[in-house]
Amino acid sequence: MFPPLPNPPTAPTPPRFGDKDLIRRSASSVTPPAQRQTQVAKLIDVSKCIGCKACQSACLEWNDMVEEVGVNVGVYDNPHDLTPNSFTLMRFTEWVNPETQNLEWLIRKDGCMHCEDPGCLKACPAPGAIVQYSNGIVDFVHENCIGCGYCVKGCPFNIPRISKVDEKAYKCTLCSDRVAVGQGPACAKACPTQAIVFGTKDEMKTWADGRIKDLKSRGYKNAGLYDPPGVGGTHVMYVLHHADKPEIYAGLPNNPRISPLVEIWKGVAKYAGFAAIGALAAVTVVHGLFSGASRVSSHDEEKAKEMADKPPEGTPRENA
Amino acid sequence: MTNSWTDIKNTDLVVVMGGNAAEAHPCGFKWVTEAKANRGAKLIVVDPRFTRTASVADYYAPIRQGTDIAFLLGVINHCIRNDKIQWAYTKAFTNAAYVVKEGFGWQDGLFTGYDEEKRDYNRSTWDYEIGPDGYAVVDETLQHPRCVWNLLKQHVAIYTPEMVERICGTPKDKFLKVAEMISECSSPTKTMTSMYALGWTQHSKGSQNIRAMAMLQLILGNIGVRGGGMNALRGHSNIQGLTDIGLMSNLIPGYLTIPTEREPTFDVYMSTRGFKPLRPDQMSYWQNYRKFFVSFLKSMWGDAATPENAFAYDWLPKLDVPAYDVLRAFELMHQGKMNGYFCQGFNPLLSFPNRKKITAALSKLKFLVVMDPLQTETARFWENHGANNDVNPASIQTEVIELPTTCFAEDEGSLVNSGRWLQWHWAGGTPPGEAKHDAWIMAQIHLRLKELYRKEGGPVPEPIVNLDWRYADPNEPTPEELAKELNGSAVVDITDPNDPTKVVVAKGKQLVSFAALRDDGKTACGCWIYSGCFTEAGNQMARRDNSDPDDTGAFGKWSWSWPVNRRILYNRASADVSGKPWDPSRKLLEWDGTKWTGYDVPDIAPNAKPDVVMPFIMNPEGVSRLFTRAMMRDGPFPSHYEPFESPVANVVAPKVRGNPVARVFRNDFEQFGDAKEFPYAATSYRLTEHFHFWTKHAHANAVLQPEFFVEISEELAKEKGIKKGGMVRVWSKRGSVTAKAVVTKRIKPLICDGKTVHIVGIPLHWGFIGEAKKGFGPNSLTPYVGDANIETPEYKAFLVDIEPIAGPVA
């Protein structure tokens, strides 16, 4: 059993991280702290998950969200997609293993991956609407959010959702409020089988190694950890029985990368300066590119690369 | 459970059959994931559906619902044929060697002594041969043709892998793979645990489903050991407590039985409860029955229960039928013979079979009292909710009185979990509105009835007016007072039998355990198996020390487990005949030459010699039973019977419909459908997103699983033109429901005896009130018939038809 975190103290405690620990801030620059905090991570072991949705329930309860009572559309997934109220969702896939002809019911808890290299943050034009702490948590600061939806387009995992009520973007916070007082995320706390565990990123990788060994001993020769390098690794990782085929888990991207469109946008933004009136024109132009599907077609990519390779004169390239 | 939830982590093989632990018991299921992660344990799931439990299993095999006995007897046959038996255990600790009376037999699906008219057996041949010494005759060599082992061998011989495939629809290779994995646990150093629930109980032969697995566990040597056992996963957090304290019409607390009208006096009642040992030197612990029974009567009627009036034996009701189970209660209501009904924490309109009959029965009542913390459909059975409750309120005269009660988080007390742990809990909130604790309501009714009897008299007022009611506040006995009463106390000073001047327990003091109970009225005890839960040392159920020396999973200082804080029943059987643990790495108890020592409270006298006193101390034999004598109505061995509504004929007994001794009320024979009219095999089950009918009142749960649906295979969907997310109508001979269709690969058609059998899955949880969308329950469709021994309704196997109807398609 992964050792449970002790209960929080009853006396108020100062938060363990805050503005001083920011390493990135959307559409603005920060002075990174001299030393990064220990990086945290949530590990979701898909092979241990029983799809009970306790995580979904805990997420709604902890964040005080009221989701709509929907309908059944012939599957177990409810709600049918992430929403501004549902930051996490069990996605069920019935997959017949071509090697064994056996049915496997793959159940993946979807939600923000807290990328080390966060596409949402990079795409965000609103100063300080998206921040990244040195422990790895990527958080949305709603009072700074302008509801443009670029974070949705910037996310390689299609996670943020814009609320129709307040026109702001919402997603999993990795329970930054709980982590700030030494607790793990609510979903991990509620998970009955410890399919979700939380700790430092190193601890999680070690824990995952043990799980992968167990899975390999049971014949899952491609069992492995999902910590995609294309986004610099993530602070939410999966143990998968078939790590060679992440896409069978309800379309988990095989090699997620930030859309090159984001790079262009960053270029334009830097060049124009967000406050500048000219930026509005630039936004309009880039918005045209963004308003398509969030999935990047090869054509889009080529076009974007072309544009990215030829930044407007005098525009410094984003290197982060 | 013979073992406990926490003990499951010690197992090598988990067999989930007749249950869906990950779905219905997700929190307890963590111990399965622990066993898998830490011991490399394997998980097998055998189920008509590929369930959430199957999604994390190492091996899954499909089975047609209602054929578990054929499967399990097939595994027993496989073990016998391949000599995969824990022989030392089987020979010493079971009745394999006992010789059965001449005349006993099995033919054409029936045991000796069947009376078709009465739908019952004369069970006189179902017993051991008794020798001239008064003890059962045994043949240790297992050579006697009528010894239990040879009878068993013969009885299971027909259940070959081919026969299992014909009956169950389980492909032969899959059955053999499961049988092989199970048979490996015959090694003394490998154990298997059986986790089951309503998937085995809710059949017309539910008790025998469980017995079949218990027999298999015995010949594998898996009872009484760490990581083994028969583990019933209870559906409510306190349903174990419900049966413990005798909330069944034929029981009184501690599994004592209510007298029948053939037992008019205390002496006649006791004459059949002597429990004389069937073998020399055996404990036969039920020999103490009189102590438990008299102490119970003393706790009921206090000073009014005296030796002169046989401790008020006359005031106990005497049953004129085997039991007033729920099916009988609603049958009587339906006949107009039961006019008032108290419904406490129950939702019969959605819980009991054949909803049409339930509605009709409730409509005939003069009054219905519903005590519940939530609004229930039963309380609103008279309200028209369109198709979801199509009644005419004007035609129903029943007066309904709703008494709002508190929920578990608003009161204090103990809940008994599946592992027999009595865990004390404290109120987390105050009751809303006019809600009152159940104990307050019951006290008010009692006090008012008592007053009426005092004033007006009436027939037999004594049981009410003399009921011992010495609580600090008679209006509301506290949970602590009630718990202390269940534990028991000394009525007078109890002295040492060897030294009458020495007081062992002073008058009024709490007893340490049931070993202190007396049959002379000097002790009072509400529930003997709970004795020890609340002693002079305090409330043992409130203990919260989670230390677990040597990581055995016992957690002996956490709460309190009945009996006497024992965590694993029959734990003496974890050691061999010389008292050495079968598996030293999983030691539980050990004989040190003079006494039993180890991690658990020994389930035997501490100084009982290992080669003399056998481990199954509750049985007069001292050993466990592969052959259960005349104790079950439908046979001393399990035998395959089809559900009353089956898609195929019984291959091993073509003439027998259903379980031949299951009780069917006369008019209910007409309610059974057949496969010609209703071709599909339906089953009902729960979903993890909901808890019974409670959580449809909770918004978050309603979000997670909002709407009633049925599940069918892609093959059946194609055949019937049903679309995923489309609307369907499902109907049986008793009723009809409409639902969304979930079309899934997780249900596959089975081939049974050459015939394709399609399965329709119907989850429970929806009604017509609450936050979730209005829907139906499976009980609109299920038949009115119960298990032959304990009358649990047959919810798991029945016949339906299905068709697509107009409606939203996703």
Are the CB atoms for A121 and A105 separated by under 8 Å? no
* Two tokens, residue B223: 């009872």
User: Residue B442: CB partners within 8 Å, gap ≥ 6?
Assistant: none
Boundary of a domain, candidates A224, A248, A272: A248
Looking at CA atoms only, how far is residue A231 from chain B in angstroms? Answer: 30
- pLDDT tens by residue, B175-228: 999 999 999 999 999 999 999 999 999 999 999 999 999 999 999 999 999 999
Do A181 and A308 sit in the same domain of this protein? no
Do A40 and A94 sit in the same domain of this protein? yes
**What is residue B258's predicted lDDT score, i.e. its pLDDT?**
97
Question: Which class is domain B666-805?
Answer: mainly beta
Q: Which of 679-708 (B) contact A at CB < 8 A?
A: 688-689, 699-708
Do A310 and A202 sit in the same domain of this protein? no
**What is residue B236's predicted lDDT score, i.e. its pLDDT?**
86
Nearest by CB to residue B56, choosing from A50, A54, A102, is: A50
* Two tokens, residue B581: 């643990």
A49 is annotated as contributing to ligand binding: yes
Do A179 and A311 sit in the same domain of this protein? no
Of the candidates B352, B338, B59, B316, the residue with the CA atom closest to the CA atom of residue B178: B59
Q: Which domain holds residue A285?
A: 259-315
Search chain B and give the residue with CA nearest A80.
Answer: B704
Nearest by CB to residue A66, choosing from B27, B699, B740, is: B699
Q: How many domains is chain A partitioned into structurally?
A: 2
**What is residue A302's predicted lDDT score, i.e. its pLDDT?**
59
Do A228 and A290 sit in the same domain of this protein? no
Averaged pLDDT for residues B734-753: 98
Q: Is residue A253 part of a domain?
A: no
**What is residue A5's predicted lDDT score, i.e. its pLDDT?**
83
Contact A79 B703 (CB under 8 A): yes
Q: Is residue A240 part of a domain?
A: yes
**What is residue B807's predicted lDDT score, i.e. its pLDDT?**
76
Averaged pLDDT for residues B365-381: 97
Residues from chain A that touch B723, judged by Cβ atoms under 8 A, are: 74
**What is residue A268's predicted lDDT score, i.e. its pLDDT?**
59
- pLDDT tens by residue, B474-508: 999 999 999 999 999 999 999 998 999 999 999 99
pLDDT above 70 covers a percentage of chain B that reads 100
- CA gap B572, B611 in Å, rounded: 11
A237 is annotated as contributing to ligand binding: no
> How many other C-beta atoms lie within 10 A of the C-beta of residue B291?
19
Contacts by A23-26, CB closer than 8 A, 24 or more apart: A23/A132, A23/A133, A23/A134, A24/A118, A24/A121, A24/A131, A24/A132, A24/A320, A25/A127, A25/A128, A25/A130, A25/A131, A25/A132, A26/A121, A26/A122, A26/A124, A26/A125, A26/A126, A26/A127, A26/A128, A26/A129, A26/A130, A26/A131, A26/A144
Residue A242 belongs to domain with CATH number: 3.30.70.20
- pLDDT tens by residue, B463-480: 999 999 999 999 999 999
Helical (H) or strand (E) element with B752:
strand B750-752
Instruction: Output the tens digit of pLDDT for each of chain A's 320 residues.
Output: 888 888 888 898 899 999 999 999 999 999 999 999 999 999 999 999 999 999 999 999 999 999 999 999 999 999 999 999 999 999 999 999 999 999 999 999 999 999 999 999 999 999 999 999 999 999 999 999 999 999 999 999 999 999 999 999 999 999 999 999 999 999 999 999 999 999 999 999 999 999 999 999 999 999 999 999 999 999 999 999 999 999 999 999 999 999 888 877 666 555 444 444 444 444 554 555 555 444 445 555 555 555 545 544 443 443 33
For residue A104, the cross-strand partners are A95
**What is residue B331's predicted lDDT score, i.e. its pLDDT?**
97
Q: What is the rounded average pLDDT for all residues in chain B?
A: 97
What residue segments make up the domains of chain B, in order of their start?
6-237, 240-320+471-540, 351-452, 666-805
* CATH architecture of the region B351-452: 3-Layer(aba) Sandwich (3.40)
Do A244 and A269 sit in the same domain of this protein? no
Contact A214 B37 (CB under 8 A): yes
Respond yes or no on whether ipTM tops 0.85: yes
> How many other C-beta atoms lie within 10 A of the C-beta of residue B507?
12
Nearest by CB to residue A50, choosing from B26, B34, B772, is: B26
Phi, psi of B711, deg, nearest 5:
-115, 135
Do A52 and A107 sit in the same domain of this protein? yes
Residue that wins the pLDDT comparison between B319 and A315: B319
Averaged pLDDT for residues B264-287: 97
- CA gap B486, B534 in Å, rounded: 8
Q: If pLDDT is split at 50, 70 and 90, which confidence band does B235 have? A: confident
Do A42 and A105 sit in the same domain of this protein? yes
Boundary of a domain, candidates A198, A224, A248: A248
Nearest by CB to residue A78, choosing from B22, B40, B703, is: B703
Question: Which class is domain B6-237?
Answer: alpha beta
Do A29 and A83 sit in the same domain of this protein? yes
Do A209 and A108 sit in the same domain of this protein? yes
Contact A78 B34 (CB under 8 A): no
The pLDDT of residue B568 is above 60: yes
Contact B37 A60 (CB under 8 A): no
Q: If pLDDT is split at 50, 70 and 90, which confidence band does B282 have? A: very high
Do A73 and A92 sit in the same domain of this protein? yes
Boundary of a domain, candidates A226, A248, A270: A248
Helix, strand, coil percentages for chain A (3-state, nearest 5): 30, 15, 55
**What is residue A275's predicted lDDT score, i.e. its pLDDT?**
45
Q: What is the rounded average pLDDT for all residues in chain A?
A: 88
Residues from chain B that touch A93, judged by Cβ atoms under 8 A, are: none
**What is residue A304's predicted lDDT score, i.e. its pLDDT?**
52
Q: Estimate to the nearest angstrom the gap between the alpha carbon of B454 and the chain centroid.
A: 40
Of the candidates B22, B525, B31, B42, the residue with the CA atom closest to the CA atom of residue B292: B525
Do A25 and A61 sit in the same domain of this protein? yes
